[in-house]
Chains A and B, each alone.
Chain A
Amino acid sequence: MASVKVQCVSKWFERRDGESLHVLQNIDLEAPEKTITAIVGASGCGKSTLLNIVAGLIEPDRGCLFLNGVKASEFKDWRSMTYMFQEDRLLPWRTAAQNVAFGLEAAGVGRAERKERVAETLELVGLSQFADVFPHELSGGMRSRVALARSLVTRPTLLLMDEPFSKLDPTIREQMHAEVLRIAELMSMTILFVTHDVEEAVVLASRVVVLNPRPGRVRETRTIDLPYPRDRTSAEVQQEARSLRESL
């Protein structure tokens, strides 16, 4: 089980000229257990900062973060959460399998179990044959799958994603969406992700949080009540996307 609750969070950044920049203002946000929540907003609305706060990489200046109902400062189980970046960030000196194993090495999982879990996870993302291939030999889509596998190998209950597929071709991106939905269901994960692509938000998420920029604040939270799998080109998805775009 995993849930995220952000309560009245504000954040300022110190700019180089000494002035402080108001990045987030009184953010309230909830990602209930086993749901997919999207944070959408134009660039500069602080959505990545918000995700980094949830990941515990940045401290909020004001407000609270609750993970699984526990206050972040008392939260212990940080390894039940993984983070998928916009770039795949595969280590070039490691093979696909070794890259996936990276997540387990931090957790101190033994060699034998590591091997088993890596093989299992590579199979999950359909890359078993590519275990011993170095990143530079892989296509963009495959690299993205390796990065996904690295985020899944620790069997997280909460997956955070920062525009993870924005650099992929549209067809590959759709494949990855299907993968994520399949795996989220299979592993009963909670997912919180950031995107500027409203269609991506509508296809994946059951809840969408819209942020407005300068300072970043929640404009609205809406529920997407369409049955999965959702076709990007369908009229319902397009209509939801259009109305979302208008509120950006």
Chain B
Amino acid sequence: MPVPAATPLVEKRPTDGPKTSHTQGSREKRLRLLSMRVLLLLLLLVIWQVASLGTAPFVLPSPGRVFDAWWSLVVTAGFWRDFGITFWRVLMGFALAAAIGVPLGVLLGANEKLGEFFDPVLTVVNTVSSSIWAIFALIWFGLSDWTTIFVVFMTAMPLILTNVWQGTRTVNADFVELAQTFRMSRLQVMLKIYLPTILPPFFAGARLAFGFGARVSLVAETLGASSGIGYRLRQAADLVQTDQVFAWTLTLVALMIAIESLVLKPLESRLFAWKKKAGGQ
């Protein structure tokens, strides 16, 4: 089909002009942020060092001592095994929570009566503390992987379910009608309208759920496991190996920061590029 030129546009492309200066500014900003973070870290280390000088090592070990303990841990195969086992349990519980929470959230969101009926269940589940779930898990599953997985699941699932459920309520009826004028099938409407609408709240919920899950997994492991980071933490505490407790704790913090900045942040900015700068000029 031959296409004549359209009438010229008077509007200009909004991203043309200020974009370069914008990225330059953000690089400067990032550099400043990084140096601030390093400074903060150094400050905390200094405070820690000073505080440890006047206290017994089993109360507050010095940074150097903790590092030595950490180093001697890292070189053992057991460290990586415990690390891997905890990570696997968290991931497993989280994956199950997502696999069940997402379809359930969609179902409850799609069916108003069903949602109304089951609403109180969610409230009850949310009020039960993770430690109580750990105790139940211990009764039901004993000293096994499933104790931890169950606790992670019970913590993460309601979070994911709630967010997905709320997400389905924000689906724009206008968009569904638009799809109908194009004679889209129900499946297409699900994939092209519902899914993209639910994705941001799902992601927010999943992020929260993973963080909570990782934390409660330790509680579960201290109570009902014979391996994993939580178990090692309790063991170290029982033996008053405070430097080892610190070493495990710092390992966990580092792991969570790494997951956040290397996996979640990049994934989020990739998935939600369309939201960026929205509203802000």
Contacts and interface: CB of A to CB of B under 8 A. Distances in A.
Contact of A134 (B1, B6, B274): B274
A105 B193 CA distance: 13
B183 A106 contact: yes
B128 to A, nearest CB: 36
Using C-beta atoms within 8 Å of the partner chain, give the interface range for chain A. 35 or more
Nearest to A128: B6
B181 interface: yes
A173 to B, nearest CB: 13
Contacts of B178: 85, 89, 102
Given A57-B177, A57-B180, A124 B3 contact: yes
Nearest to B200: A93
A240 interface: no
B11 interface: yes
A126 B7 contact: yes
B184 interface: yes
A94 interface: yes
A130 B177 CA distance: 26
Given A106-B188, A129-B13, A137-B15, A91 B175 contact: yes
A182 B275 CA distance: 34
A58 to B, nearest CB: 11
Interface string B132-149: 000000000000000000
A134 B168 CA distance: 23
Contacts of B273: 134
Contacts of B188: 105-106
Nearest to A137: B14
A179 B1 CA distance: 17
A106 B274 contact: no
Given A79-B183, A102-B182, A126 B9 contact: yes
Contact of A106 (B13, B182, B196): B182
A124 to B, nearest CB: 5
Contacts of A78: 183
B100 to A, nearest CB: 26
Contact of A85 (B4, B5, B174, B196): B174
Given A126-B5, A134-B274, A91 B196 contact: yes
A138 B193 CA distance: 21
Interface in A53-72: 55, 57
Interface in B164-197: 174-175, 177-184, 188, 192-193, 196
A134 B4 CA distance: 25
Interface of B: 1, 3-9, 11, 13-15, 174-175, 177-184, 188, 192-193, 196, 273-275, 277-279
Closest 3 CB pairs of A and B: A126-B6, A83-B181, A106-B182
Interface of A: 55, 57, 78-79, 82-83, 85, 87, 89, 91-95, 102-103, 105-107, 120, 123-127, 129-130, 133-134, 136-139, 141-142, 154, 175, 178-179, 182, 186
